[in-house]
Structure 1
Amino acid sequence: MTVLYSHTDVSIHVETTALRVIGDVNVALAADLAASGVKWLKSTELDAVTFDFSGVDKASSVAISVLFEWLRICQQRAIGVDAIDLSEPLKRLASLAELDDLIENPSTALAV
């Protein structure tokens, strides 16, 4: 496991083919979080990744925004997304935003 980004409230870890976010994703850190993941995605040789937000305890549209930025880079770089794992609070938020299909089937949803 490699720590890609670390702040008092939140961190990003690289675990094999996964970017794992742990902590409280807030507006003040969103740009740095997104940029750290983008930098890693642009430098990786992987052809597929997993995004793991299961360690994010609070429902936050900011966390969903960071996820969208990473998904955009994956689309640009033709990196497949094997899975998106969300914490229960983020799952509820994603469901309210009608993102269930994207979260449950990222490769299919992004191929359209």
Structure 2
Amino acid sequence: MLEDLKRKFFDQILSELENLAVILEKEPDGDKLDDTVERIFTISHQISGTAPMLGYEVMPKLSRKVERAFYEVRTNNRDISSQFLQQTRRTILSMIETLKDESKGMAQVSN
């Protein structure tokens, strides 16, 4: 059962992160930027809360940093620049690789 939860989590989070990386590549603006900010905050919050319960160790640390940054954006305590969006995309790409690496490691341990 736990393995099923891990697989569902992995598939969902990987898909969300990959979609966000594509969206950020085009540097959204206006309403699309607002939607993207919400998606990034929501997915990073989900990772921060769920990943530790499933045995992920590095992913929650990365996602907490993203979550805090986008919380500041949502509360108007941080502005969004092109550089900020580029750094966010690089971080999301790093999160994708970390998710894959950690998932492989957990699969090897359970076998």
Q: Given the two structures, how large is their TM-score scaled by the length of structure 2?
A: 0.32
Structure 1 or 2: more strand by fraction = 1
Structure 1 or 2: more helix by fraction = 2
Greater relative contact order: 1 or 2 (C-alpha under 8 angstroms, separation 6 or more)?
2
